A and B are shown apart, each in its own frame.
Chain A
Amino acid sequence: MLTMKELQKMLLAAAMELKAKSKYFCELDSVAGDGDHGLTIGRMADAIKQKVEANDAKDIKGLLDDIGMLCMGINGGSAGPLWGTVFSGMAEGAPADKTEVTSQEFCQMLAQAKADFEDISKAKLGDKTMVDALYPALMAGMEKKGDIREKMDAAAQAAKDGAAKTKEYVAKFGRAKNVGAVSLGHEDPGAVSMSVLFAAMAQALH
């Protein structure tokens, strides 16, 4: 089971970790982008922290949906709508009026997040985007047999591995695709920040 309290703990941990690394994300983004990825992530981290601390969501579905909306409205280029879709997707897959979800229900949340994301993004594995961390994370989380903590650990590991692999890819999306080989040898900032999200959330359950 995953309780509302545990989810809040995960989100807060993620917010803190993402905020702490925002300068690093900017540096990663300045290789092949315009160096502002960390600013957007920082603003989303602030929004997530504020929302969780307000403790005004009536159920898990509501909390994730509100966070999804907050991310969508962050006005920071692609990251806002993309992260927003991940959280909104999880909300859509969650049962209503529940302050705890089962392992099975958690899988449904991950599945819906992936489906919603595929709906709005044409990025595939290997295109050097956040998808290289996100999809492996969601799939590992769904496939891992065990409780939610084990699922999150598997997801975090898959996200980390996926982000590391982006070093070898040449960007096909976003601004980085215009500079071609310049991005080779560097991890994609979107994949890295996504892996930090999963790592922090998984760690919070320990």
Chain B
Amino acid sequence: MKKFINKPDDLTKELLEGLALSNQDIIELKDGNLVVSKALQKANRVTIVTLGGTGHEPAISGFVGEGMIDISVAGNIFAAPGPQLCVEAIKMADKGHGVLFVVLNHAGDMLTGNITMKEIAKTGIKVVKVVTQEDIANAPRSNAEDRRGLVGCIPLYKIAGAAAASGKSLEEVAAIAQRFADNMATIAVATVGATHPATGMEIAHIDEGMMEVGMGQHGEGGGGSMPMKSADDTAVLMMDALLKDLSIKKGEKVMVIINGSGATTLMEQLIIYRKCYNYLAEKGITIVANRVGETLTVQETAGFQMFLARMDDELTALWKAPCHTPYMTV
């Protein structure tokens, strides 16, 4: 493993310090693992709290700031943080209007999320939990509980953050977030597995000449191993699966994100996006929102996640509303 790290034990601490130091006008670190938006202090609205393992930079903490996440509880590499920190974050974030607590569907995150909700219930703070589970690869839509939360959380933070910034109530913000969560889908493809920075061990292995469609974001597989295809063929394969899952019809409006996993070049991601755009145009489907580039990575995994969401005017306006975070500014 050739990574520029110091002691493996200090990975999370050092990366969070780097993030905070390079964005001092936007965020600050509290209690080591809480990445807090400086806009929180003056906030008088619903606030957004989330949790997640590190190792996926710029996600999740790179999206803390005005108009997006108020507090991100950062765990160790690929590992969810514990419930005490989440409870502390929610108490810190609550400004009297309640908190939207976004949890990605992974074993550790969900355990922590559930224990956190149990503890918070004792405090009387109004919290609504929204779970993101949009990976279509490992389970059908009818079995959403089994679906992993991938990059979809990032646009969800943007949309929920904008709804909160506009002064909506917790019920309204949660309803909007849930609507977006229920109408999004992601599928990933990987060609080269990454190494875990703390152990140096390979987290996934994909054979030469092959690609794995449905790869999770910690190296766990999705079962779709096949010979490498061209950019356009891969794009069509993935987009077809997403369109089918969401039953997107001609005339509809969508959001598309091409999220590089860490080692796939922007060049490739742009080529893929171009195909998605043209393919959808042929089908009479309009892209009203998009993002191309590394958003939620998996160390040096080669590959990308393709994200699709059904959009309406309200969601589009929220996506276009201003925000200021280390890795996304509108």
- Residues of chain A touching chain B, judged by Cβ–Cβ distance below 8 Å, are 26, 30, 32-36, 39-40, 69, 72-82, 84-85, 120-121, 173-180, 182
Contacts and interface: CB of A to CB of B under 8 A. Distances in A.
A82 to B, nearest CB: 7
A79 B146 CA distance: 19
Contacts of A179: 220-221, 223
A75 B85 contact: yes
A93 to B, nearest CB: 18
B297 interface: no
B206 interface: no
A173 B107 contact: yes
Contacts of B202: 30
19 contacts: A26-B199, A30-B203, A34-B78, A35-B196, A36-B78, A36-B198, A39-B198, A40-B79, A73-B82, A76-B75, A76-B76, A76-B79, A77-B76, A81-B83, A81-B108, A82-B111, A121-B111, A180-B223, A182-B221
Contacts of B79: 36, 40, 75-77
A174 B108 CA distance: 8
Nearest to A119: B118
Contact of B75 (A77, A175, A177): A77
A174 B107 contact: yes
| Interface SS majority for chain B | loop
A175 B33 contact: no
Contacts of B222: 178
Contact of B76 (A32, A72, A75): A75
A16 to B, nearest CB: 19
Interface of B: 33, 53, 75-85, 106-108, 111-112, 114-115, 138, 146, 148, 196, 198-199, 201-203, 216, 218-223
Contacts of A177: 146
A175 B203 CA distance: 11
A81 B87 CA distance: 13
A47 to B, nearest CB: 11
Contacts of B196: 34-36
Contacts of B77: 36
B77 to A, nearest CB: 7
A74 B196 CA distance: 19
A104 to B, nearest CB: 29
Contact of A178 (B108, B203, B216): B216
A73 B85 contact: yes
Contact of B84 (A35, A69, A120): A69
Nearest to A82: B111
A77 B84 contact: no
Contact of B82 (A26, A36, A39, A81): A81
Contacts of B85: 73, 75
B50 to A, nearest CB: 15
A35 B84 CA distance: 25
The residue among B76, B107, B146, B201 with the most chain A CB atoms within 10 A of its own CB is B107
B103 to A, nearest CB: 13
B190 to A, nearest CB: 13
A79 B75 CA distance: 13
Nearest to A180: B223
A35 B194 CA distance: 12
B262 to A, nearest CB: 14
Nearest to A176: B220
The residue among B85, B111, B148 with the most chain A CB atoms within 10 A of its own CB is B111
A120 B115 contact: yes
A40 B220 CA distance: 18
B199 A36 contact: yes
A69 B196 CA distance: 27
Contacts of A182: 221
Contacts of A178: 138, 148, 216, 220-223
A144 to B, nearest CB: 30
B107 A78 contact: yes
Given A34-B219, A34-B220, A81 B75 contact: no
Contacts of B115: 72, 81, 85, 120
Contacts of B218: 34, 175
